Amino acid sequence: MEPAADRPRRRIGMTMLRIDGERLGRWSLRLDAAYCAVLGLAVALFAGRIAEDVALPAPLIAATGIAVVAWAGGVLWMLARLPLRAALRLVMIVNVLAAVAVGFASATAATLLIVLAVVAVAVDIALFAASQALALRTLPAR
């Protein structure tokens, strides 16, 4: 009989085996692309208003929004053209960097509500990175 201390590890391991890494990875990348497209478009369209709440110039904010929309297209391109593992790794790395950058941008916000909103976006991005890491971990070995 196995020691009680080993039972939780085995359950966790079996749960990880039930996750379909390929399916999770593809969904994660699709949702990430959709999120980027919507968020980037909103940021580009409302750059002037956003600039009033954060101490950054409106053209910089608009350019960032446009870049995020372009990134969404890039994510979909990677999903269609690159091996899933490579696409997940690249998008995960960019998401980690973006989460850090957005988190730092919250320091420029004028009000607590805006700080919280910007931090929420950073958390969203970090969660996408976590889902991509999980998908990578559960993909079968090459």
pLDDT tens string 54-71? 888 999 999 999 999 999
In sequence order, the 6+-apart residues with CB closer than 8 A to the CB of 59 are: 47
Nearest to 120 by CA among 131, 110, 134, 105: 105
Rounded-to-integer distance, Cα 124 and Cα 18, Å: 25
* pTM of the complete model: 0.80
Would you kindly state where each structural domain of the chain is located, as residue ranges?
21-138
pLDDT, mean over the chain: 87
Torsion of CA 72, 74, 80, 84, to 10 degrees: -90
How confident is the model over 27-62, as pLDDT tens digits?
Answer: 999 999 999 999 999 999 999 999 888 888 999 999
The string of pLDDT tens digits covering residues 95-137 is: 999 999 888 887 877 788 788 888 899 999 999 999 999 999 9
Enumerate the β-bridge partners of residue 109.
54
